[in-house]
Amino acid sequence: MRKEHTMLNLHNAEFIRSAVRVADFPQDGLPQIVFAGKSNVGKSSVINKLLGRRNFARVSAQPGKTVHINYFLIDKQAYLVDLPGYGYARVSQAERQRWGVLMEEYFALGLLTLGIQIVDIRHKPTKDDVTMAEWFHAARRPWIVIANKLDKIKKSQIEGCLAEIRQTLLLPEEVPVIPFSAEKGDGKEVVLEMIAEHIGKDALK
């Protein structure tokens, strides 16, 4: 029997809170779709593009400034969990440590249901990107990689860049790498389809 799907309304998204400690993490059983990426990779831009909002997730003016996890609720169906950006050169050791502790606390609770890791399609993933991939791998949940800033490379470079990302992050075969442009919108439908499928809804077109 065909499962009855209804539409997911992405425009019905609301900011819930900035979490800084375990007590702040919602634990109500709703799916938690987790976005991670290094500072300036375009994480806020990707989230805004997916939700069709201009300024929803703040486009960071001061990268790496704050260590908190932003929670958004999408159509009362799932949380969009925006992890703090990493790898910003000019953060203090103390702040770097706070990032690590917060990650450990979040991942230890097993709340993540879908991981979305954002990398820059132009560059070989950094050591921090590899560490983040290890976090997602260890979570043993479905996980996808968005290769953002597609508009910045030539068509002829795409395959090579995707292969380098896959190899460097040591991605299991089932983890898709999706070329994406938060600027132009490439990849948006594919990712929305995956999110909707994860939640058990039809994608909003």
The residues that touch ligand GDP, with contacts defined as CB under 6 A, are 37, 39-45, 59-60, 63, 85, 148-149, 151-152, 181-183
Nearer to ligand GDP, 32 or 181 (CB): 181
Give the E-state strand segments of the chain in sequence order: 13-19, 32-37, 69-74, 78-82, 114-120, 143-148, 177-179
d(CA 150, CA 180): 6
| Smallest distance from ligand GDP to CB 3, Å | 34
Nearer to ligand GDP, 125 or 201 (CB): 125
| Smallest distance from ligand GDP to CB 121, Å | 9
Nearer to ligand GDP, 63 or 176 (CB): 63
| Smallest distance from ligand GDP to CB 69, Å | 14
d(CA 123, CA 120): 6
d(CA 132, CA 111): 16
Nearer to ligand GDP, 117 or 181 (CB): 181
| Smallest distance from ligand GDP to CB 41, Å | 4
| DSSP 8-state secondary structure symbol assigned to residue 190 | H
Nearer to ligand GDP, 43 or 166 (CB): 43
| End-to-end CA separation in angstroms for the chain | 24
Closest among 171, 128, 108, 110 to 41, alpha carbons compared: 128
Nearer to ligand GDP, 63 or 200 (CB): 63
| Smallest distance from ligand GDP to CB 110, Å | 25
| Smallest distance from ligand GDP to CB 104, Å | 22
β-pair type (13-19, 32-37):
unpaired
Return the percent helix, strand and coil in the chain, to nearest 5. Answer: 35, 20, 45
DSSP 94-127: HHHHHHHHHHHHHHHTT--SEEEEEEETTSPPPH
C-beta nearest to ligand GDP: residue: 42
